[in-house]
Amino acid sequence: MISVFVYGTLLVGESNHHVVSPYLLEVQPGTIYGRLYDVGPYPALVLTNDEDNVEGEWIEVTEEGLAAMDILETYYGPGHADNEYERIWVKDAILEKEGWVYCYPNPRGLPAIHGSSWKYHLHNK
């Protein structure tokens, strides 16, 4: 099993959950330190140090599930020039849990999302 923190369109009930659902083994609510930005149809995450919280879900997936998420997130490998997101190892802010998360390298010019939840932001736009 591979642990991944999801916070946007991959969340249960959101538009891209179908990408990961065939490979999903477990789901658990979680929180990490970070800030969300609005890219339009999806959010971007930038990690912070104990400042802002991002609510999401820890999902347990197979290797095939991680590969499917890499394709969706345009992640080709560490530091690849064509990556839209980087895949970073993180720890939960509250739980004894850690795993991968997809982070946006440069949110310059994107509006910050006020609050800690993409679901809340999306459904209240």
Catalytic residues: 73
d(CA 84, CA 81): 9
Distances (CA, A) of 17 to 7, 34, 65: 11, 21, 11
Can you tell me whether residue 81 is helix, strand or coil? coil
With beta carbons less than 8 A apart as the criterion, state whether 58 and 92 touch.
Answer: yes
